[in-house]
Every structure is written in C-alpha cells, then in structure tokens.
C-alpha cells in the first residue's frame, strides 16, 4: 500500500491543520501562535512529553515505548516576509507574511505522523519530534542545538523532509552526499573619492573599481577552484550614485557564495578577501567588508540515506527515487546532520509556483504520503 491506511483516514484533519498554519503565518523566532497550536494538537495526541521554548520558539515532543534507540523527526515552522497573491479561503491574514516555502505542510505532516505513532506505538524506543523555528535564514536549528537540544534529547539518527515544486506529485527522493549548498553572504562597501563627472581625474571612482571587482571575483571560480568542484559566487546587487554628472564617493556590492565542500569554503573565503583588498588597492579605494558565514552544506549520510530510500520504496513503491541532483539552495537541517547521522528527503509538490514565490501553495494531496514516510521511518528504525 502506498500510505498507512490509518494516516489516510485523517487526511482531512491534516489539511485543516495545514490551512490554519497557512492562514496565520509567523516569521522567524515569532512563531508564538504556531507553537501554541502545535502544542494544543500534541496534547490531544497524548504524547509522553512536550517541551517549548527550545531555541526561542521551538517545540519538542517525545513518544516512548519501552527501552531502545532514539530517532529524531524534524519539521520547520516559520514563514516568509512575502505578500501572498493566491486566492484561497485560507490565504494569509498576517499582512506581508506568508507560508511561501511549505513549512505549514511540513509541520502538518509531522503532526500526522505523531498522531499515528501515538495511537499505534508499533515501535520500541523513543521518537523525538522537533518543531523548529527560524529556518529561513536565521539558523533555528543551530539555536536549538545551542539551547541543549541534543543534550536533553540524545538521538541516534535524525530525518527531515522538504517539498519540491515541479517534482512529480508525491514522489519521495533520497540520496546520499551533498544535497544543498553552504551559503555565505557578503557586503562590500568601496570607499573612493567623489568628483564632478566631467573631471574624473579628481576622483577615486568606486564604480570603476566595483566593476573590476565583479570580474575579478569570478576568477576565483574559474582559476582557483577545481573544475570538478561546485562553486558559485554571485554579485546580486551593485548600488552607487544617483546623478548623471557626479562620480560618487561610495559603491556597495552584495552577494552570496555557494559550495558543498568545506575546503572549498575555506579557500574561497581567503581568496575573497585577497581579491577585494588587492583590487581596491589597485584603484586607490578602501574596502569595508562584511562577510557573513551562513548555513553549512546539507550532506546526507550514506547508511541513513539508504535506509530512508528503502522506507520511501516501502511507502511509495515506484514513486520514489535515489537519484536527485543536488541544489545550490541552503537549508539549516545541515546543522543537525553535523551533530547526528541522518538524511534529508524531498517530496514532490507537483506542478506549482516555485518556493519563495507569492503564488506558491503547498499541495494537500501529499500530506498523507509525507506523514506515512515519517511515521514508517520511526517504526522501522525502532523495530
């Protein structure tokens, strides 16, 4: 059977929960009412323990059945600062905030898995269910770890899942190795000397310097990095001046750096500073650099990926795959995978707007599949 029959029976319940979360989205570390709703439902499911406030607004629920190993299941709860453009009866009522990444669905699938596991208890050991805040750029996973998550709840393995628009509806995809990239971000302010546009010799032109810098940073990719390795350096914004006859004093460049391998990350950070400083020096300008270390790469462990893929086949038959190209987006589940072996899976959202799009919506048809996948992961791991 493709999904657990019992879970399929409360598909409408999961849909109702999902629509509620979608209607009342909350931003990172502000998921107060979302957490309250999660706790309200967990109490109805008769879980063994509920703890709130881990990592700010995080919630952890545990289910126990005798002595044995412990497995973690994670869902993220936060929304994005995006104005929704859908026309649904459950559209966001919080102005300028919407669930444009499907965390409303992730939370509802984990709740569905918990409801089933609490009823059946067909496992031996402990299931630790992690409802994480602040995945969208604010490192909620890291905050929960620093708040003692794994000291309070030592687990042997951990699993998470994310929906993927335009991947076949309901397909489960799990593969070992890098799945999502590390993401570092930067801002470079180039301080030059302003002058009249007709007198460039009186200036230290930050626009000319910045233009050279855009080109020179790309040489890190083409000449310092092994072509077999993945590295992306993107200048996403370039701001300077506001008149057609004035050479400004300053220019500001913002961008992101993406990679999978930690050694590549160390190399690119070193070369980044060298290229910026030396290019600006060549033009007589001064750089002010803000380099922000972001999420590490999300790298699935081999054994756990094979296990999760076998569960995907068990739950979803041929509608599962262990061949899925890694992506250059980032995900803070990476922090969990650096602490505990595990795997991160994709579930196909079918044809839909892309993630972080004002017209995106999670596909309710995949709720039972995702909840069955999570529940079966726990049951089979804790046999």
Bridge-based pairing of strands 320-321 and 172-173 is: parallel
- β-pairing, 157-165 vs 125-132, is unpaired
Phi, psi (5° rounding) for residue 350?
Answer: 75, -170
CA-nearest of 324, 339, 320 to 3 is 320
Q: Which residue has the tokens 């795997």?
A: 343
In angstroms, what CA-CA distances link 84 with 101, 105, 336, 353, 361?
12, 16, 31, 12, 10
Instruction: Check 26, 31, 76, 78 and give the catalytic one.
Output: 78
Rounded to an integer, what distance in angstroms lies between the CA atom of residue 93 and that of residue 107?
A: 19
Q: Which of 26, 104, 126, 135 is catalytic?
A: 135
Distance CA 335, CA 377 (A): 20
Number of residues that this document lists for the chain: 383
204 closest CA partner among 288, 289, 283: 283
Q: End-to-end CA distance of the chain, in Å? A: 20
Told to judge if 261 belongs to the known catalytic residues of this protein, a careful annotator would answer: no
Instruction: Give the DSSP H/E element, type plus range, for residue 189.
Output: strand 182-191
Exposed, middle or buried, 46 (CB in 10 Å: 0-12/13-18/19+)?
exposed
Q: For residue 321, what are the β-bridge partners?
A: 173
What is residue 257's DSSP assignment? E
Concerning whether 135 is annotated as a catalytic residue, the answer is yes
Nearest residue to 371 (alpha-carbon basis) of 111, 159, 59, 50: 111
DSSP annotation of 204:
B
Angle between helices 103-120 and 367-381 (to 10 degrees): 50
Chain-centre distance of CA 155, in angstroms?
Answer: 21
> Taking a C-beta distance cutoff of 8 angstroms, is the pair 221, 231 a contact?
yes
Give the number of other Cβ atoms within 10 Å of residue 368's Cβ: 24
Q: Which residues are catalytic?
A: 78, 135
């Amino acid at each position: 059977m493709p999904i657990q029959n019992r879970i399929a029976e409360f598909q409408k319940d999961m849909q109702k929960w999902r629509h509620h979360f979608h209607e009342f989205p909350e931003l990172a570390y502000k998921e107060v009412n979302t957490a309250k709703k999660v706790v309200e439902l967990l109490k109805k499911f008769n879980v063994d323990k509920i703890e709130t406030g881990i990592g700010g607004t995080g919630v952890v629920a545990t289910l126990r059945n005798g002595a044995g190993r412990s497995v973690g299941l994670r869902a993220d709860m936060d929304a994005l600062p995006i104005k929704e453009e859908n026309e649904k009866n459950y559209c966001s009522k919080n102005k300028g905030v919407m669930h444009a990444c499907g965390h409303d669905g992730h939370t509802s699938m984990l709740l569905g898995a918990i409801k089933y596991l609490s009823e059946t208890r067909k496992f031996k050991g402990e299931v630790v269910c992690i409802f994480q805040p602040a995945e969208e750029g604010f490192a909620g996973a890291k905050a929960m770890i620093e708040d003692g998550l794994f000291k309070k709840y030592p687990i042997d393995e951990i699993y998470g899942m994310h929906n993927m628009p335009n991947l076949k509806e309901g397909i489960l995809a799990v593969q070992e190795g890098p799945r999502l990239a590390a993401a570092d971000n930067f801002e470079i302010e180039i301080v030059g000397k302003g002058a009249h546009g007709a007198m460039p010799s009186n200036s230290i032109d930050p626009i000319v310097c910045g233009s050279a810098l855009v080109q020179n940073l790309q040489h890190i990719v083409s000449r310092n990095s092994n072509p077999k390795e993945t590295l992306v350096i993107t200048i996403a914004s370039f701001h300077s001046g506001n008149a057609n006859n004035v050479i400004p004093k300053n220019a500001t460049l913002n961008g992101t750096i993406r990679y999978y391998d930690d050694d590549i990350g160390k190399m690119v950070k070193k070369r980044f500073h060298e290229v910026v400083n030396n290019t600006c020096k060549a033009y007589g300008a001064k750089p002010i650099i803000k380099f922000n270390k972001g999420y590490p790469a999300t790298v699935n462990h081999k054994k756990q990926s094979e296990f999760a893929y076998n569960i995907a086949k068990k739950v979803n038959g041929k509608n599962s795959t262990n061949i899925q190209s890694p992506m250059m987006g980032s995900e803070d589940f990476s922090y969990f995978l650096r602490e505990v072996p595990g795997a991160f899976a994709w579930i196909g959202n079918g044809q839909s707007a892309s993630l972080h799009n004002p017209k995106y919506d999670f596909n309710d048809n995949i709720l039972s599949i995702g909840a069955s996948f999570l529940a079966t992961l726990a049951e089979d791991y804790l046999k």
